Amino acid sequence: MPCEPDGGDPAWQLDVFERKTQRGHIERGLGYKLEGLRIAERTGNLTETARGLIAVGTSHAEMRQYPLALEFYDRGLRLARLLGNVRLIAFGSMNRAGALLDMERYEEAAPALTEALALFEILEERESLALLLVYQGQLEMGRGHWTRAKALWEDALVRLREGGEPNDLARSLKYIGKFYAMHGEIERSVLYIAEAREIASRIGNIALVAELEASLSTIP
């Protein structure tokens, strides 16, 4: 469930590729991100280069190309640390943790999660803190703490329903629903995945709708 670091450089073409990615055109969105990254590198804009590296990593993570995603996250993080850009470090650490969690490398993910949490608390970014609760729940699940994981997820969903972006809420519901299905809590899983499908349909994320419908069809 990677998150985009936002920015304002016109060369970055952020509004274009975000719209395409949210509609489910991940590979096309990746093309726009790579072009934005090339422009940032050619012009020597280090902040936009760092942002571009992290954003390209998000697309690879969405395509489950986790080792490649980690390469871009690590490059972006090195540059963000050199620049002292707290917000980019926070996003890079958060997304790096997410990739490691999806690879079930739980203890490697823990330090990145801790760093992202501390930085987003400084930045007072409520939605990012809510998304971090989803990651923290995944970490606790990986450690075998199922009750703790569920409590974190329920807290995250309350916060996202109150003030989160619909796309972030839908994707969080998808992930949490999958985890519930893995642990045999089918009724709760179906409830969350169906809610995610309704949100994805409303915002026009066709690829996510198809993915969620496929998930619902495989749940016994």
Return the residue matching tokens 């871009």.
Answer: 72
pLDDT at 210: 87
Of the residues 106, 124, 142, the one at which a domain ends: 124
Same domain, 53 and 149: no
CATH label of the domain that carries residue 2: 1.25.40.10
| pLDDT tens, position by position, 144-195 | 999 999 999 999 999 999 988 999 999 999 999 999 999 999 999 999 999 9
Does residue 129 share a domain with residue 52?
A: no
Burial of 67 (0-12, 13-18, 19+ CB in 10 A): exposed
**Is 184 found in the same domain as 75?**
no
pLDDT of residue 20: 41
Please tell me whether residues 79 and 13 are part of one structural domain: yes
Which one, of 61, 24, 83, lies nearest residue 213 by Cα?
A: 24
Together in a domain, 114 and 138: no
Angle between helices 166-182 and 186-203 (to 10 degrees): 160
- Tell me, what's the pLDDT at 24? 46
Same domain, 111 and 153: no
Given 74, 97, 124, which residue is the final one in a domain? 124
How many structural domains is the chain composed of? 2
Amino acid symbol at 184: G
Local mean pLDDT, 10-residue blocks, the chain (220 residues):
54 36 63 90 94 93 94 97 96 96 96 96 93 96 97 96 92 94 93 94 88 82
Residues 12 and 107 occupy one common structural domain: yes
144 CB-near residues (< 8 Å, 6+ apart): none
215 is in which domain, residue-wise?
125-220
129 in the same domain as 79:
no
Longest CA–CA span in the chain (Å) reads 54
Residue showing tokens 């090195």: 78
1 and 99 within one domain: yes
CB atoms closer than 10 angstroms to residue 82? 10
